[in-house]
Structure 1
Amino acid sequence: MSKPPISRFPIPEIADLPEDIRSRILTVQEKSGFVPNVFLVLARRPDEFRAFFAYHDALMDKPGNLTKAEREMIVVATSNANQCQYCVIAHGAILRIRAKNPQIADQVAINYRKADITPRQRAMLDFAMKVALEAHTVGDADISGLSAHGFSEEDVWDIAAIAAFFAMSNRLANVSNMRPNDEFYMLGRVEKQV
């Protein structure tokens, strides 16, 4: 049986892409050993690709009070709520690697309230889920609740921005029928063989 396509929309050839996009994709491929399908699917629109990854990097790769693993927890929990298979699988792999925990992504995706996370992380995810699913109901009490767990105003913005950005990403992935790469499924679950 042949594999289904990675998107319902046409995928450009890497060689035909603008140099900056081609270079970024090849760098990711060199680092990870494969090209995550999101890069190929979004490359069909170069200006949007650049804007998407610029905002992604600004949110996910910055220093701050949220660890990189916590940022990935937000993506996994909210992407599951938005029924985005691609983001749950891909960011679940990244979460397992960043948290150095082969079980955490499955726990967070299925039911973060029962996951082996801290009360602070649970409060973070409660807020992220509210932003993802009912942002119109966010009020001062939600912000105060995060403050009680040591989150700063900037942290609150980061949590909200990550949840909001990935809500958009989830919708694009769902509409395009973006398939997760097979490689993601085992990343962070087993030790690499040397």
Structure 2
Amino acid sequence: MSNTPISRFEPPRLEDLPKDIAERISAVQEKSGFVPNVFLALARRPDEFRAFFAYHDALMEKPGGLSKAEREMIVVATSGLNACQYCVVAHGAILRIRAKNPLIADQVAVNYRKADLTPRQRAMLDFAVKVAARSHEVDDSDYGALKDHGFTDDEAWDIAAIAAFFAMSNRLANAFSIRPNDEFYAMGREQRR
């Protein structure tokens, strides 16, 4: 385990947090076995923590439309584009688990165009990356390409919203030097024989 600070800013002590935030962090720790550093780093500002995770959950945890693995693909591809180590590593781990594929996260993070994806997934990531890098260029043809691959208007909205939300998240993680937890690196990978 690393002794390097988890963030440029000292995280608050768990016992000093508002009850709702402490409960949320405890629930995450119970489920995953550790506290993701982003929770501790953002808990420094309780109102912003609540707003951040409310929008995160609204985008990433809702049923229907995009699968949870597809949502994570969007995060990993756009976070790679934005050079966000925290989000590539953390969401790469989640992607490997949700896709049940130990290779996919590395492929998507480095160059999704060469990854083992379906044409539908590639179209989804083409749109997400355009939103993340050149949203001012998005036009009707981009939405038409999504429709050609069976995406609904609501799914197109979700792709854009996830790419945009994580562009903000990437910038915060980079600006605050939030380190990925060591535990993320091994999650969802095959064991060596």
Partner of 2:68: 68
The answer on 1:183 being equivalent to 2:183 is yes
8 Å Cα contact 2:72/2:95 also seen in 1: yes
Partner of 1:141: 141
Partner of 1:79: 79
Aligned partner of 1:61: which letter?
E
Aligned partner of 2:167: which letter?
A
Distance in 1 (CA, whole Å) between partners of 2:122 and 2:57 is 24
The answer on 1:99 being equivalent to 2:99 is yes
Distance in 2 (CA, whole Å) between partners of 1:96 and 1:184 is 10
Partner of 2:56: 56
The answer on 1:37 being equivalent to 2:37 is yes
In angstroms, what is the RMSD of aligned CA positions? 1.1
Cα distance, 1:3 vs. partner? 2.1
Distance in 1 (CA, whole Å) between partners of 2:2 and 2:133 is 36
Question: Structure 2 stretches of 5 or more lacking a match?
Answer: none
Distance in 1 (CA, whole Å) between partners of 2:10 and 2:35 is 16
Q: Deviations over 1:29-79 (max 9, x none)?
A: 011000000000000000000000000000000112210000000000000
Q: Deviations over 1:142-184 (max 9, x none)?
A: 0001000000000000000000000000000000000000000
What TM-score comes out, normalization by structure 1 length?
0.97
**2:120 partner SS:** helix
**1:3 partner SS:** coil
**1:34 partner SS:** coil
**1:106 partner SS:** helix
8 Å Cα contact 2:41/2:178 also seen in 1: yes
Cα distance, 1:190 vs. partner? 3.1
Distance in 1 (CA, whole Å) between partners of 2:121 and 2:54 is 26
Question: Structure 1 stretches of 5 or more lacking a match?
Answer: none
Q: Deviations over 1:77-105 (max 9, x none)?
A: 00000000000000000000000000000
Identity %, equivalent residues: 75
Partner of 1:170: 170
Partner of 2:112: 112
